[in-house]
Amino acid sequence: MPRCWGLWVVAGWLALGLVGCATRSGFPAPVEDRGSSVGRLPPPPPPTPASASRPAARPDPQSLPGHENMGKPGYYTVKPGDTLIRIGLDAGQNWRDLARWNKIENPNLLEVGQVLRVVSPDQTPSPEAVVVKPVTAPTPVNAAGPDSKVTTPPAVAPNPAASATAATPATPTPAADSEGLAFIWPHNGAVTAGFDEAKNKGLDLAGKAGDPVLAAADGKVVYAGSGLRGYGNLVIIKHNNTFLSAYAHNQALLVREDQSVKRGQTIAQMGNSDADQVKLHFEIRRLGKPVDPTKFLPPR
């Protein structure tokens, strides 16, 4: 009996051990948590070849201001790098007028492709606005008719004093197509660089820092500042609806915008702002296009 009782005890312990193992195996095995996905967005799908090569969207030209006037005379399409001051200079207009005509509140915000009115609403643009007529000396006309006799005045010995006075007339003779404007030299310095439509849109005159810069003709100041790259401290004077003049690289500006000036009035002091040496860069523009100033200035 004792031996059998011992066998029963051993069998009982084995049974209890098997039950315990089965109970523990009923719990799920632990899972390593590598971060909760609650509140996270799924990763974006990889781009397809079409979407990967698609260029950035450009604004629809028809959504830009003034698109309906593109290509018409008297309008200008904004290009990269343009500023309202630059467009005004090239159009022969006051940049403030451009802002007003085109209802531009912030002149620093221009869109490439935007079309601007560059001619006054009261003015009808003409094809001549982009053509510069060559300056030619007027041909003498005999008012009495081709058959009348021409009397030659007797020769007179030259008077040196009179010749010197005639070489520098007090009132210069207007050029053939200057619409009655009589320009004077803005400075008496030597010409160090002549007019070249592609490389130099005016004349460069030598001088010393602080030398007076004179208004070449009567007009109104339409710009006085340093906002046009390459010109430094700049003054632009509008003389009429056709002509304006520009005076660049000044040391100091002595006039303000919208100020009326007279021919010969000191408007600035010569300097070297945005230039490698002291000089005055002088331009005359006809309908916004640079022309050779020597065609409009009196001979020296």
- Domains assigned to the chain: 62-130 (3.10.350.10), 179-295 (2.70.70.10)
Are the C-beta atoms of residues 98 and 88 closer than 8 Å to each other?
yes
CA dist., res. 254 & res. 235, Å (int): 9
pTM for the predicted model, two decimal places: 0.63
Q: Please provide residue 228's backbone torsions phi and psi, each rounded to the nearest 5 degrees.
A: -110, 110
List the pLDDT tens digit at each of the 300 positions of the chain: 555 555 545 555 555 454 444 444 444 444 444 444 444 555 555 544 443 434 445 556 666 777 888 889 999 999 998 999 999 999 889 889 999 999 999 888 899 999 999 998 887 665 544 333 333 333 333 333 333 333 333 444 444 443 333 333 457 888 777 788 999 999 999 999 999 988 999 999 999 999 999 999 999 999 999 999 999 999 999 999 999 999 999 999 999 999 999 999 999 999 999 999 999 999 999 999 999 999 999 998
CA-nearest of 207, 261, 208, 206 to 235 is 261
CA distances from 170 to 158, 184, 245 (A): 20, 10, 21
CA distances from 187 to 123, 133, 234, 266, 297 (A): 34, 26, 15, 10, 12
From the CB of residue 185, how many other CB atoms can be counted at a distance below 10 Å?
Answer: 19
H helices within the chain, ranges in order?
A: 2-25, 49-52, 84-91, 95-101, 160-167
CA-nearest of 84, 122, 35 to 225 is 84
CA distances from 161 to 3, 156, 266, 298 (A): 160, 14, 29, 19
The tokens describing 76, both together, are: 């200008």
